[in-house]
Amino acid sequence: FQSTMEGVVITNASERITMVNQAFTTITGYEEAEALGQTPRMLKSGRQDAHFYTVMWASIQTTGHWQGEVWNQRKNGEVYPEWLTISAMEDEQGRVTHYVSVFSDISSLKQSQEKLSFLAHHDLLTGLPNRLLFNIRLEHSIERARRYQKSLAVLFFDLDHFKDVNDTLGHAAGDELLRWMAQQLTALTRAEDTVARMGGDEFTMLIEAVEEPGDAATVAG
């Protein structure tokens, strides 16, 4: 109980905390004395709505356990993700006497997932969306345009004589030019529009909610 790396919280049937382990303190920042007599709601971050907890308790009352991801809050106010398992303990008469919660901090795992997702969908040099993410956004934009009878525009362009930059000034200068280009293009567009690097010196721009072709021509200009 004390040696496990997972945080453990034991409450009575009234959900009042009766015991926590050292990992609980390490993860949440709360000492045992601060937690005893409180309810696990002391850790609520506010990110889950009432429906989330309704479904959680319905599962516990029906099956005796629940497992899933929640966002809780440490003593210092930091919100973090955890993987949580809650089990109901019953006596010989089938009455619930305790609830046991076992949880682990999955912040590093979430960060790794987010980093991998970013790497999969973005160009490493410029930070712009890559071809994969651009195509996903384009498909969604086409669906919205059809649903709301709107138009959109796609601009495709490259940099003339970009090879000359690499050949005369070197690839480091070429990379710097591409990064600068990405910043300029991003500054020219609205938040709902997308600028992507397709590869090499080729860029695309997805313009949402175009009223008429002339609007796209203005952006192109």
Give which of 182, 159, 152, 7 is closest to 80, Cα–Cα: 7
Distance of CA 126 to the CA centre of its chain: 21
Whether 105 is a known active-site residue: answer no
Give 168: exposed, middle or buried? Use CB within 10 Å, 0-12, 13-18, 19+.
Answer: exposed
Give 116: exposed, middle or buried? Use CB within 10 Å, 0-12, 13-18, 19+.
Answer: exposed
Q: Residue 172: what are its φ and ψ, rounded to 5°?
A: -65, -40
Segments of the chain assigned E as strands: 7-12, 17-20, 65-73, 79-90, 96-105, 151-158, 194-199, 202-210
Q: Residues with Cβ < 8 Å from 37, sequence gap 6 or more? A: 16, 17
Q: Which DSSP letter does residue 94 get?
A: S
Q: Residues with Cβ < 8 Å from 168, sequence gap 6 or more? A: none
Q: Catalytic residue among 164, 175, 201, 215, which?
A: 201
- Please identify every residue annotated as catalytic: 201
